[in-house]
């Protein structure tokens, strides 16, 4: 079984240090390269679908989260406030209050709606030490988040459009959804006590799932404190499920923040995360692909393997051409062992570019795929084109 905690360290994807703290992993160059590839892909996917990208601080005043409802319904999962200059600041547990403030930063016309905002930003959860593990449960989460502000009658269409994005991204990433879950509230004080609000939001989500012909399970007590949500569950190789992507209909925060557009109308707020937290996504990708990531995601997409030191000048030039074409490429120097040993050491790299005397003279290479197939001389531009995501 591929366990990302073992494989991720072997592949130098991430690490931890007690001086940083439990639940606070860092990404090594390989992990950072995968994250950047995912971030670029999702950013472009969102841009093509009408999203505007924003950036907001990871801190906010305690009163912001009192207004949003997080403090009364979610504070046990938040870090304690910090006193600075006589004010109390909190590491944010969620990006949505910040996006609500961005929405209300000026008057909005109905012609601007739906307004789709997206951000890859940090949020922080005060998880107990006993539940932390690898990249799956962490205290610092880099979340692909987004919020759509729209007239209430358009909420169903925006939920469906968000599910389209999620399904497209999952297909590109090679992720198979285990099941769809309609996550509902419960009777505890963790959930907003407003039956009419919950009924309205649930009605929208059920309508979308039925229109799409999606079967789903209902689970009480798994909703957000402000409303129900559609959770897309994924399963690791051992069959353990976790939530990756989600879509929520929120009629609560627009009321709390007194959001409106010209005419005095109150918008609905659709929360959605296309690929969820980057840390959990990396854990799943490493496990699901056994480290052999698709070419567009691979930390190193091409490795240049000269037969001997005589081919080093040509090999260095080939690495340069690969990098200029947009490939993540590196050199497997002859002093690192025999040809076979170097190929085995780079067995997870999608393209192994072997340079012998003939290739050095011609300025070409012999392309070997990681499954052992030989492709002969393939232009660098073609390899670069193969290594891009498909939209």
Please indicate, yes or no, whether residues 195 and 285 belong to a single structural domain of this protein.
Answer: yes
Please indicate, yes or no, whether residues 354 and 238 belong to a single structural domain of this protein.
Answer: no
The pLDDT assigned to 268 comes to 97
Residue 308 covered by a domain: yes
Tokens of 389: 């995501």
Please indicate, yes or no, whether residues 268 and 354 belong to a single structural domain of this protein.
Answer: no
pLDDT one digit per residue (tens) for the chain, 391 residues? 678 888 888 899 999 999 999 999 999 999 999 999 999 999 999 999 999 999 999 999 999 999 999 999 999 999 999 999 999 999 999 999 999 999 999 999 999 999 999 999 999 999 888 778 789 889 999 999 999 999 999 999 999 999 999 999 999 999 987 899 999 998 888 899 999 999 999 999 999 999 999 999 999 999 999 999 999 999 887 788 889 999 999 999 999 999 999 987 999 999 999 999 999 999 999 999 999 999 999 999 999 999 999 999 999 999 999 999 999 999 999 999 999 999 999 999 999 999 999 999 999 999 999 999 999 999 999 999 999 999 8
Which of 228, 262, 289 is the C-terminal boundary of a domain?
Answer: 289
The 3-class secondary structure across the chain, one letter per residue, is CCCHHHHHHHCCCEECCCCCCCCCCEECHHHHHHHHHHHHHHHHHHHHCCCEECCCCCEEEHHHHHHHCHHHHHHHHCCCCEEECCEEEEECCCCHHHHHHHHCCCCCCHHHCCEEEEEEEEEECCCCHHHCECCCECCEEEEEEEEEEECHHHHHHHHHHHHHHHHHHHHHHCCCEEEEEEEECCCCCCCCCCHHHHHHHHHHHHHHHHHCCCCCEEEECCCECCECEEEEEEECCCCCEEEEEEEEEECCHHHHCCCCECCCECCEEEEEECCCEHHHHHHHHHHHHCCCCCCCCCCCCEEEEECCHHHHHHHHHHHHHHHHCCCCEEECCHHHCCHHHHHHHCCCCCEEEEECHHHHHHCCCEEEECCCCEEECCCHHHHHHHCCCCC
The pLDDT assigned to 1 comes to 65
Please indicate, yes or no, whether residues 144 and 64 belong to a single structural domain of this protein.
Answer: yes
The pLDDT assigned to 17 comes to 94
Closest CA to 376 of 366, 363, 386, 364: 366
The pLDDT assigned to 171 comes to 95
Please indicate, yes or no, whether residues 137 and 57 belong to a single structural domain of this protein.
Answer: yes
Residue 295 covered by a domain: no
Residue 369 covered by a domain: yes
Please indicate, yes or no, whether residues 183 and 93 belong to a single structural domain of this protein.
Answer: yes
Please indicate, yes or no, whether residues 244 and 368 belong to a single structural domain of this protein.
Answer: no
Looking up residue 254, the CATH number of its domain turns out to be 3.30.930.10
Please indicate, yes or no, whether residues 226 and 340 belong to a single structural domain of this protein.
Answer: no
Please indicate, yes or no, whether residues 271 and 310 belong to a single structural domain of this protein.
Answer: no
Domain that holds residue 382: 302-386
Residue 375 covered by a domain: yes
Assess contact for 132 and 139: CB atoms under 8 A. Answer: yes
Please indicate, yes or no, whether residues 51 and 171 belong to a single structural domain of this protein.
Answer: yes
> pTM here?
0.94
Which of 234, 263, 289 is the C-terminal boundary of a domain?
Answer: 289
Residue 297 covered by a domain: no
Residue 337 covered by a domain: yes
The pLDDT assigned to 238 comes to 79
Looking up residue 325, the CATH number of its domain turns out to be 3.40.50.800
Residue 294 covered by a domain: no
> Which residues are bridge partners to 132 per DSSP?
none
Number of domains in the chain: 2
Which of 289, 313, 346 is the C-terminal boundary of a domain?
Answer: 289
Please indicate, yes or no, whether residues 228 and 279 belong to a single structural domain of this protein.
Answer: yes
Please indicate, yes or no, whether residues 131 and 158 belong to a single structural domain of this protein.
Answer: yes
Residue 317 covered by a domain: yes
């Amino acid at each position: 079984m591929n366990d990302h905690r073992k494989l991720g360290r072997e592949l130098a994807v991430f690490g931890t240090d007690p001086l940083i703290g439990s639940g606070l992993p860092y990404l090594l160059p390989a992990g950072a390269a995968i994250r950047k590839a995912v971030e670029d892909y999702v950013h472009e996917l969102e841009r093509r679908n009408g999203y505007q990208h924003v950036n907001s601080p990871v801190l906010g005043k305690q009163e912001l989260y009192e207004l949003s409802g997080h403090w009364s319904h979610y504070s046990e999962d938040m870090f304690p406030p910090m006193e600075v200059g006589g004010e109390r600041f909190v590491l944010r547990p969620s990006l949505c209050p910040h996006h609500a403030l961005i929405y209300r930063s000026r008057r909005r016309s109905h012609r601007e709606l739906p307004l789709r905002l997206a951000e890859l930003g940090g949020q922080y959860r005060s998880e107990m030490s006993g539940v932390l593990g690898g990249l799956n449960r962490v205290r610092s989460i880099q979340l692909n988040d987004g919020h759509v502000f729209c007239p209430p009658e358009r909420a169903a269409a925006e939920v469906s459009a968000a599910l389209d994005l999620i399904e497209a991204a999952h297909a590109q990433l090679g992720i198979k959804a285990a099941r769809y879950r309609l996550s509902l509230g419960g009777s505890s004080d963790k959930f907003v006590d407003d039956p009419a609000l919950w009924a309205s939001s649930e009605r929208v989500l059920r309508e979308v799932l039925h229109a799409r012909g999606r079967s789903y399970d209902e689970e009480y007590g798994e909703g957000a404190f402000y409303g129900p949500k559609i959770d897309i569950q994924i399963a690791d190789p051992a069959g353990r499920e976790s939530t990756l992507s989600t879509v929520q209909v929120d009629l609560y925060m627009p009321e709390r923040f007194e959001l409106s557009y010209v005419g005095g109308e109150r918008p609905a707020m659709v929360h959605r995360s296309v690929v969820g937290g980057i840390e959990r996504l990396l854990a799943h990708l490493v496990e699901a692909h056994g480290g052999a990531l698709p070419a567009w995601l691979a930390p190193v997409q091409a490795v240049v393997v000269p037969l001997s030191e005589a081919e080093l000048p040509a090999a260095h030039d080939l690495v340069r051409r690969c990098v200029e074409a947009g490939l993540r490429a590196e050199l497997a120097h002859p002093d690192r062992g025999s040809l076979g040993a170097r190929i085995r050491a780079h067995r997870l790299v999608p393209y192994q570019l072997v340079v012998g005397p003939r290739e050095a003279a011609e300025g070409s290479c012999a392309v070997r795929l990681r499954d052992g197939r030989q492709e002969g001389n393939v232009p660098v531009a073609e390899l670069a084109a193969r290594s891009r995501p498909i939209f």
